[in-house]
Structure 1
């Protein structure tokens, strides 16, 4: 499979609109971007393309990268930076299957699949298919599984995509405390994409601080909803990932750390 990282940033992206911090200035000067999160996966055998999350930067991502429009789409959760790009289905597609979980969220009273149906009820070009978490299904010739993670207050899911012994795993938006069954599903990936919104040193600035500390006192969760860089790398090590890229990265990284390995930037491409 061919994996292209279309969007590697958090909800505001880097550079952030109206921001003149050192990191955003460096991104502009270097021509580097981290737009809102999205991953393109091409099946080299069938030339079908699977899109994981529909970024609100959908248009620019597909204009800026040499990838085909998706044949099918996965949505991990209903936050706008992962969902609202679906509006681009208008006039671009004759039909577009969209996959999401059918597990009811106790916070909203509806599943991710239901939320998509309700939000985009005006788009007759999309068809939403609901799936149980941890139950594999087929999309674009891949075996795909949604895995529950921790992104309160809403339900959220990571994703596993497999074909012919190759495995892509994404944590989705999550803190470090991922259920054991999900850890098992995400383990042994050829390419592991892990949420790493900030370095652990910035937890002191979050109202909730940091959580899930290492034995040395390093927080692996920033607040409640996202992993720190250190948490993401710790999880990757525990899950025996062959290669790890850190995504959902914010512009709050200090400029001297913001573009160091293994922090990803838009446009990276991997064959696994």
Structure 2
């Protein structure tokens, strides 16, 4: 299993357009990018590849990385920075299976799968949307894949488990989430060879959020920034609880101080891992 981090940033990415903050300037000086979130997973046995989330930066990500167009895709939730790149598949692929959760969201009265069908009805001859029940494994690209519910109010959001049944390699993605990941989902995500964990900002920045931080540890350090995303400290605590063999922090904002923004284990675009 080859995992390529196509996009490791949050909704605005780093550098952020029009921003001259020290962190964005440092990214420009280093020649690194954190574009909107997306992950490419290749099955070395079959040659098939799976795309996790369709970033609005789809075109530039595929031009910048030596990866093939996907044979299938999955969508974790309907926020634009995870979905709106799907329109890029027009004229590029034909018959692309797109797997998405089937659970109805009270906030939209639709499941993720139904929203994709409605929003991208003009792609009906290019993609096929497959509704999947949370926790129920399905096969795609030679992998066993499961959606697992996480916590990203007000929308339903899902993490992902990708396993190779032949080699035993396991990739876990938290998806966009607070630290309040349900216990059953933690059990599904546990013991990965690689964990990609949402860590939008360091806990020190919670003091600047209108509602602060949540899920403090025994020392009072917030593991959730506001209500939607984990802090760096929260993501690392979750990684420890999940006994991840290796952890990369993703969905990172440009608000990290420049002296912290590129330290381990914060990821940047283009990283590749063999599991």
Q: TM-score, normalised by structure 1?
A: 1.00
Q: Structure 1 residue 95: deviation in Å?
A: 1.4
Number of matched residues?
272
d(CA) in 2 for partners of 1:89, 1:191: 28
Q: Structure 1 residue 208: deviation in Å?
A: 1.0
Match of 2:195 in 1: 192
Matched, 1:229 2:229: no
Match of 1:138 in 2: 139
Match of 1:56 in 2: 56
Q: Secondary structure at the match of 1:110?
A: coil
d(CA) in 2 for partners of 1:211, 1:94: 44
Root-mean-square deviation (CA), in Å? 0.4
d(CA) in 2 for partners of 1:64, 1:89: 17
Match of 2:175 in 1: 172
d(CA) in 2 for partners of 1:127, 1:66: 26
Name which of 199, 202, 207 aligns with 1:204.
207
Unaligned runs of 5+ in 1: none
d(CA) in 1 for partners of 2:173, 2:258: 26
Q: Structure 1 residue 138: deviation in Å?
A: 0.4
Match of 2:266 in 1: 263
Q: Structure 1 residue 119: deviation in Å?
A: 0.3
- Once the two structures are superposed, residues 235-270 of structure 1 have per-residue CA deviations (whole angstroms, 9 ceiling, x without a partner) of 000110000000000000000000000000000000
Match of 1:100 in 2: 100
Q: Structure 1 residue 31: deviation in Å?
A: 0.4
Q: Secondary structure at the match of 1:54?
A: coil
Q: Structure 1 residue 198: deviation in Å?
A: 0.1
Unaligned runs of 5+ in 2: none
Q: Which consecutive aligned stretches of 4+ in structure 1 deviate over 2 angstroms post-superposition? A: none
Q: Secondary structure at the match of 2:176?
A: coil
Q: Secondary structure at the match of 1:56?
A: coil
Match of 2:45 in 1: 45
d(CA) in 1 for partners of 2:248, 2:269: 11
- Once the two structures are superposed, residues 28-74 of structure 1 have per-residue CA deviations (whole angstroms, 9 ceiling, x without a partner) of 11100000000000000110000000000000000000000000000
Q: TM-score, normalised by structure 2?
A: 0.99
Q: Structure 1 residue 89: deviation in Å?
A: 1.3
d(CA) in 1 for partners of 2:203, 2:69: 37
Q: Secondary structure at the match of 2:109?
A: coil
d(CA) in 1 for partners of 2:88, 2:71: 13
d(CA) in 1 for partners of 2:215, 2:180: 7
Matched, 1:70 2:70: yes
Match of 1:33 in 2: 33
Name which of 241, 256, 262 aligns with 1:238.
241
Q: Secondary structure at the match of 1:128?
A: strand
